[in-house]
Amino acid sequence: MQSPAVAAWNLARRYGRRWALADVSFQLARGAVMMVSGRNGSGKTTLLRILSTAIHPDAGNASVGGYDIRTQRDEIRRSTALLSHSSYLYDSLSAKENLEIVARFCGAPPPSAASALDRVGLAERANDPVSTFSAGMRKRLSFARVLLQKPSIAFLDEPFGQLDPEGFALIEEVVAELKGSGATVMIATHQIERVERIADVRLALENGRVQ
């Protein structure tokens, strides 16, 4: 049998005296789309940040793409992409320059940045500094960065935030494309009705625990 794309065993994370996650366990099959739902503060963002190795768990463990999140962080980061609340974009650089930096780290050919910008509808703003971009345009550029990484597993934290209806449709199309390419996708979202249409399985969190 093929090993799961993501597997978690009793994951827990504490901020001060509050447990943001407690005893979270699940498995996600390769090539599947999982919706992670829950209220604000339920642990959705913390879970994705742990799995992408942005932060460490305080207890438990997980494997991502067959790699251990505690001991094989570099291997996980090379095969995954995280779309987070913070864009981590270089405001003084153009959209194209931002993606060219990512492309160099990923070993992607030069045309890849232009292609990714075109895919998210930013081709005409390729040479404009990111400081002139709206919140929605920044979100599109962040998604272009995810595409450029060609991840085997993508972690998307509230991907529909700051977007208009046209942007919603774009994200749905791109998630379908990622799945079609064999990638596994985890989507943390409040947009339950929208994500239900494209998700294969749902993980509901409440007060840091799986419901």
Structure confidence by residue, pLDDT tens digits, 66-95: 999 999 999 999 999 999 987 789 999 999
Percent of residues, the chain, with pLDDT higher than 90: 80
What is the spatial distance between Cα 121 and Cα 146, in angstroms, rounded to a whole number? 15
| Pairwise CA distance, residues 53 & 68, whole Å | 10
Q: In the CATH hierarchy, which fold is given to the domain comprising 31-53+73-210?
A: Rossmann fold (3.40.50)
Dmax (CA) of the chain: 50
Lowest mean pLDDT among 22-26, 78-82, 84-88, 143-147: 84-88
The confidence score (pLDDT) of residue 201 equals 97
Q: Which candidate, 187, 196, 191, places its Cα nearest to that of 154?
A: 187
Count CB neighbours of 24 within 10 A: 23
Total Cβ atoms within 10 A of residue 70: 13
In angstroms, the Cα distances linking 24 to 10, 131, 210 are 5, 39, 6
- The predicted model gives 125-154 an average pLDDT of 94
Nearest of 206, 205, 207, 189 to residue 197 by alpha carbon: 189
| E strand intervals along 38-92 | 59-64, 67-68, 80-83
Which pLDDT belongs to residue 1?
60
Q: Determine the Cα–Cα distance for residues 19 and 207; give it in Å rounded to an integer.
A: 8
Residue 22 scores a pLDDT above 90: yes
- The pTM is what? 0.93
Structural domain boundaries in the chain: 31-53+73-210
Mean pLDDT of the chain: 93
Amino acid at 36: V
